[in-house]
Amino acid sequence: MMYRIFVWGLNFKTAPVEQRELLACSREDAYYLLPPLATCRGIKELMLLSTCNRVEVYGVAEDYEAVNGLVLELLRLKGVDARLRRNSFFLEGDRAVAHVFRVASGLESMVIGETQIVSQFKEAYRIAKELGCVGKVLNRLYEKALRTAKKVRTYTGISKNAVSVSYVAVELARRIFGNLSKSRVLLVGAGEMAELCAKYLKKLEAYLFIANRTYERAVELSKELRGHVLRFEELSEHLQDFDIVLVSTSSKEYIVNRAMVSRAIKRRNYKPMFFIDISVPRNVDPTVKELDGVFLYDIDDLKEVAEKNLKERMQEKEKGDIIVWDEVGKFMKWLDLLKVEGTIVSLKESWKELEEREPRVRRLIHRVVQEIRKEPSFAEKLAKIFLQEVDNADAKRRLSYVHHRTDGA
């Protein structure tokens, strides 16, 4: 059986946020999408990774033509025009494996070396495994990706003073206002990214308020950080009280709309308001930036802020790439061996009786299997030469000599 590994998707390098958000998947979406996608013709294994910067499918197919059907089905299920594919990318074989390893290692992140991607990668795999969408290849790929990520972080400085998208968002706020201790900041959302934002903001002594659909979670986080709580349903009523509004939730709709912001900016007498929306899909109506005194930054606007981080880490990133490709080579060799498992099993089964009677045959089979495992690409040639050797009267002929003949067999 052929195991064709592939990666398909959109990320911050290939598509803007307004396109990525069309494919963005929550945890609930993943549970809904994976089962029907896994039944697409020719698709053997599948997992789906969706973050603020990427929506990517990692899978194993009988042939790469099957991926086309999978992509069309995904777009159909998401209700997205097929033209979106223009900004997608497709990788196969060792390049696909390298991409997965780089993603898990933080080498493909907007903020090079950020660590949040590891937990997101683990969660994507956990869901796929729970749904029975992964098998021996993606199981191994996942395991090796995490080991590679650990190696990269251990043997390079990629995670030294590691930052995240949340950190970059707060850094943007600091650049805008300078001393944040004089600013009133509203954080909408209390998930992992929002919590990281809150912790960074607290270190900068911002006057912090937290609003979340689940009030108890907002109270819990505010106690931990000695902040204040704003009830989610009172957001519109008090929006004008804040200089910076940082939004990070999993909502599929706009939480902050144009009408809300228009009222708020008037009540502030057009004193500037800054919105930073790191949600995908976006939670702040993009048209609010058209209002006087309103400034809106989304996840893609953080790229410029992240550039400094990229330059400082580029040398360590190159070291990480060396580690990644070394691990890719090992994985591809394992995958090649997986393809010839059937040859090995067939060889041993076919000659089982003769192997038990003839020590010479037993030794030959043992050496053939060893050589196949060393170099899986020679499996077919070695099997043919083994048959010749069994019939050959010269029992003293060594398999090492046989292996040297493979190029000309």
Give dist(CA 280, CA 228) in Å, integer: 26
CB 98 within 8 A of CB 325: yes
Give dist(CA 265, CA 270) in Å, integer: 5
Q: Which has more pLDDT, 366 or 75?
A: 75
SS3 35: helix
Average pLDDT score over residue span 382-408 = 48
**Using only C-alpha atoms, what is the Rg of the chain?**
27
Q: Are strands 273-277 and 244-247 parallel, antiparallel or unpaired?
A: parallel
Alpha helices in 268-358 (DSSP H): 302-339, 341-350, 352-357
DSSP string, 305-326: HHHHHHHHHHHHHHHHHHHHHH
Return the structure tokens found at 22: 């069309």
pLDDT digits (tens, 9 = 90+) for 339-357: 665 555 555 555 555 545 5
pLDDT value of position 406: 46
The helix (run of H) or strand (run of E) holding residue 275 is strand 273-277
Identity of the amino acid at 222:
S
Q: 82 pLDDT exceeds 80?
A: yes
Give the Cβ contact number of residue 257 at 10 Å.
15
Please give the mean pLDDT across all residues of the chain. 82
DSSP string, 69-92: HHHHHHHHHHT--GGGGGG-EEEE
Please, which residues have CB within 8 angstroms of residue 53's CB and are 6 or more apart in sequence? 11, 12, 20, 109, 110, 165, 280, 299
Return the structure tokens found at 89: 């990318």
Average pLDDT score over residue span 302-317 = 68
Band the pLDDT of 407: cuts 50, 70, 90. very low
Please, which residues have CB within 8 angstroms of residue 259's CB and are 6 or more apart in sequence? none
pLDDT digits (tens, 9 = 90+) for 249-272: 888 889 999 999 999 999 999 998
CATH topology of domain 165-305: Rossmann fold (3.40.50)
pLDDT value of position 365: 59
Write the CA distances from 299 to 35, 47, 124, 250, integer angstroms. Answer: 30, 24, 21, 14
DSSP string, 104-167: HHTTTSSSTT-SHHHHHHHHHHHHHHHTT---HHHHHHHHHHHHHHHHHHHHSSTTTT---HHH
Q: 55 pLDDT exceeds 60?
A: yes
Domain borders along the chain are: 4-161+311-338, 165-305, 343-408
pLDDT value of position 1: 58
Catalytic annotation, residues: 52
Band the pLDDT of 361: cuts 50, 70, 90. low
The helix (run of H) or strand (run of E) holding residue 199 is helix 192-203
pLDDT value of position 167: 77
Residue with tokens 């933080």: 106
Q: Which has more pLDDT, 144 or 305?
A: 144
Pick the CATH number of 4-161+311-338 from 3.30.460.30, 1.10.240.10, 3.90.870.10, 3.40.190.10: 3.30.460.30
pLDDT value of position 402: 46
Q: Are strands 228-229 and 207-211 parallel, antiparallel or unpaired?
A: parallel
3-state helix, strand, coil in the chain (%, to 5): 60, 15, 25
